[in-house]
Amino acid sequence: MQRCTFIFAGGGTGGHLYPGLAIAQELEELAAAAGDRDAARCVFVCSNRPLDARILGAAGVEYVASPARPLSMRPLGLLRFAAGWGAAVRHARRTIAHERSGTEGARRVVVAAMGGFVAAPAVQAAGVERAPILMVNLDAAPGKANLWIAQRALRSAGCMTAAPVTHRRAQAWESIPPIVRREVLEVRDAAACKSVLGLDPARPVLMVTGGSQGARSLNEFVQSFAATPDGRGPLTAGCWQVLHQTGPAGDDAARATYAAAGVDAVVQPFTTDMGTWWGAADVAVARSGAGNVAEVWATRTPTLFLPYPFHKDEHQRHNARTVVEAGGAMLGRDRIDPAANIRENGPMLLRLLTDTAFRREMRGRLAGLGPADGATRVAQRLWEVGQTRDNGG
């Protein structure tokens, strides 16, 4: 059996990190099943943002921060990108070389490109070092980095909610179910999850999340909704509680707003325990990044999606398409202004809170989508690449 190091290249947001963690969990299981836990070593090449260290540190995995910088069209930004690119390629080449010549014997290296500005220079390094590359694309509309990476990858895997890269130089593309970590996939007792979070286990929970970095306009919409008579009524009379992840700013304002409205709420700027959060949630309001869509699919949580409003390609809107068309979620449009959001999206949130039969039907539709076992599928492909001598590494 060939021992391999799997380098997960990606970072800057939770959406580029959590899928890699899910795949790494499955690779470790494959190695254990094969009788050699050392057959799969997983290392993350991430960004130098504090969020990456927080997420990966909490997961207890090995990681190294890349000097890669995001692309910017501003003159100073372009200079930083160019300088960061060269440094990031050299950094990734050193990481690959180090893993190949480990103290415990030679290892084959396989690079899993998870998308974004960290992945691209790592892929460039892998090409120079002749290490096989597998790209994982989760967004419905591949970004510029993934379009570039797909032309260099041995294989490409895309979530069922994503469209394949059709560039003439792109390699074999495989459609997969959503990628979700085991702690989110685990069937949990809702009452126990609520108790752990300091919520009343007997009352329903509205969860609000804009992703790992939060979303100000989404925060303001839900808080404004809670302060209106139409919103405050069902939240208080219906005995709803709010579980709100605000991002690094805005948690104090959210607590004050909910307290003034008489709405019981647990507010945190960030959490690494999304398994417990989704386990506690009866309904959700969320951005439709690929990670959130995958977790709604996996946990069967009726959700109102408000996609990020500033992407020209509206890829978050496309991300939600499969679950919305299946009837498992509702799709609004973030108007940014709280009053406009209440007018347009308030009625959908109100129905989500007050229509029990509608929520039950949504959960059934989500169940019909099938298992969210994309992490297993990608891990198997990575394992095959690592064990195939012709692939280099």
Rounded Cα gap, residues 141 and 314, in angstroms: 8
Residue at token pair 């200079």: 79
Residue 165 has pLDDT above 70, yes or no: yes
State the pLDDT confidence band at 363, using cuts at 50, 70 and 90.
very high
Beta-strand ranges (E) seen in 119-239 are: 133-137, 155-159, 172-176, 205-209
Rounded Cα gap, residues 19 and 73, in angstroms: 29
Rounded Cα gap, residues 165 and 153, in angstroms: 11
pLDDT at 234: 84
- The model's pLDDT over 199-251, given as tens digits with 9 standing for 90+, comes to 999 999 999 998 777 789 999 999 999 999 888 888 887 799 999 999 988 89
- The model's pLDDT over 172-182, given as tens digits with 9 standing for 90+, comes to 788 899 999 99
Residue 159 has pLDDT above 80, yes or no: no
- The model's pLDDT over 269-314, given as tens digits with 9 standing for 90+, comes to 999 899 999 999 999 999 999 999 999 999 999 999 999 998 877 8
**Domains (ranges, CATH) in the chain?**
4-179+372-391 (3.40.50.2000), 186-367 (3.40.50.2000)
pLDDT at 392: 66
pLDDT at 169: 67
Residue 160 has pLDDT above 80, yes or no: no
- The model's pLDDT over 7-61, given as tens digits with 9 standing for 90+, comes to 999 999 898 999 999 999 999 999 999 999 999 999 999 999 999 999 999 999 9
Looking at every residue in the chain, the average pLDDT score rounds to 92
* CB of 9 closer than 8 Å to CB of 82: no
The answer, as to whether pTM is greater than 0.95, is no
- The model's pLDDT over 64-104, given as tens digits with 9 standing for 90+, comes to 999 999 888 788 878 888 889 999 999 999 999 999 987 66
State the pLDDT confidence band at 390, using cuts at 50, 70 and 90.
low
pLDDT at 144: 84
Q: What CA–CA distances, in Å, run from 340 to 225, 288, 335, 344?
A: 11, 19, 6, 6
Rounded Cα gap, residues 122 and 112, in angstroms: 9
